[in-house]
A and B are shown apart, each in its own frame.
Chain A
Amino acid sequence: GIQVEQSPPDLILQEGANSTLRCNFSDSVNNLQWFHQNPWGQLINLFYIPSGTKQNGRLSATTVATERYSLLYISSSQTTDSGVYFCAVIALDSGAGSYQLTFGKGTKLSVIP
């Protein structure tokens, strides 16, 4: 199946700093999503981004499908940004004959005041 790798695994930021999270995937994908898992465990949709660039407030994401990677930018980080950021790709699993949403292992972000 497709492999999804995220980096860095852990990140500590001072409040107000900027950061870039990366997601690499091993094969062609139909779609890509970024999620934020907050400290209460809730998975929150950030971006649905098969290609191109999208922005939502202090967050933006870019996916370059031809080069098999996506980036999540967080600017002017706040303590409420803390949590785990997941990248998930949707790709056809030829073995199963169905589309699968496969997650990376996440980047754990801690923003300190």
Chain B
Amino acid sequence: DAGVIQSPRHEVTEMGQEVTLRCKPISGHNSLFWYRQTMMRGLELLIYFNNNVPIDDSGMPEDRFSAKMPNASFSTLKIQPSEPRDSAVYFCASSPRMGGNTEAFFGQGTRLTVV
């Protein structure tokens, strides 16, 4: 398996623009997570899905952020409008199932810079 695939790897955009990050989980995995990593706050869970349904979005910072999972093999994280403080590395991860006894695997991340 190719692992969790994220695109793009790097994104530079101007403040106010819409940004869409994409993720393809490992085939057969039922849970998908979006994390954000910054120097100040470390790795933070933004939202996670189980069987394409959002289970917990309490980590989404504000209404400018939205995430969708239209099918089992694809998810998007959208920021509209983007702001400089959104600059971070965004990771997607997947695991075989929801619950405690499961191992998560991460994609290579998308480094977002908002200028």
Contacts and interface: CB of A to CB of B under 8 A. Distances in A.
Interface in B101-115: 101-106, 108-109, 111
B104 A101 contact: yes
Majority SS at the chain B contact face: strand
Interface string A97-113: 11111111110000000
B56 interface: yes
Contact of A41 (B58, B100, B104, B109): B109
A63 interface: no
Interface in A56-103: 86, 88, 90-93, 96-103
B56 A100 contact: yes
Interface residues of A, number: 28
Nearest to A91: B100
Given A33-B103, A45-B103, A106-B42, A99 B109 contact: no
Contacts of A7: none
Interface string B19-45: 000000000000001000000001101
Interface of A: 29-31, 33, 35, 41-43, 45, 48, 50, 86, 88, 90-93, 96-106
Contacts of A41: 89, 108-109, 111
Contact of B45 (A33, A35, A45, A102): A102
Given A31-B100, A104-B42, 9 more contacts: A41-B89, A42-B106, A96-B58, A97-B56, A98-B56, A99-B98, A99-B99, A99-B100, A101-B93
Contacts of A100: 45, 56
Nearest to A30: B100
Nearest to B43: A103
Contacts of B100: 29-31, 90-92, 99
